[in-house]
């Protein structure tokens, strides 16, 4: 089992953070098996593309809400980590209040 749960959608309230605001959150280690995905489908072109980590943030975006960690952005990075037999990855974690 790679993730805690494969979800489809964002159950938490809209946070409205811009890319610049996400970049201000320092990355921290997160275990893959504690993450709930917000996407049930991944485009293999994204996963296998050599430049998939070239554009955008280098760190996945995770939202902590009601005791759960939701992988909002960076599913392809998380799967790459799992394929390389890693159980943790560095991600930016936004803590939302209930």
12 Cβ contact list (under 8 Å, min separation 6): 63, 65, 66, 70, 96
Residue 25: Cβ within 10 Å count:
17
Higher pLDDT, 83 or 29: 29
Average pLDDT of the segment spanning 26-30: 98
Domain extent listing, the chain: 5-9+29-95
d(CA 44, CA 53): 14
Q: What is the pLDDT of residue 43?
A: 74
Give the pLDDT of residue 53. 54
Query: 31-74, pLDDT tens digit by residue?
Result: 999 999 999 887 777 666 665 555 567 899 999 999 999 999 99
Say if domain 5-9+29-95 classifies as CATH 2.40.50.180: no
For residue 92, pLDDT over 60 is answered with: yes
């Amino acid at each position: 089992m790679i993730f805690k749960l494969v979800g489809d959608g964002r159950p938490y309230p809209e946070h409205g953070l811009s890319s610049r605001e996400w970049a201000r959150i320092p990355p921290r280690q997160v275990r893959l098996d504690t993450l709930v995905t917000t996407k049930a489908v991944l485009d293999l072109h994204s996963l296998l593309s050599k430049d998939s980590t070239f554009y955008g943030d280098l760190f996945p975006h995770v939202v902590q809400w009601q005791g759960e960690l939701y992988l909002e952005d960076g599913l392809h990075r998380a799967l790459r980590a799992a394929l390389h037999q890693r159980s943790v990855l560095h991600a930016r974690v936004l803590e939302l209040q209930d």
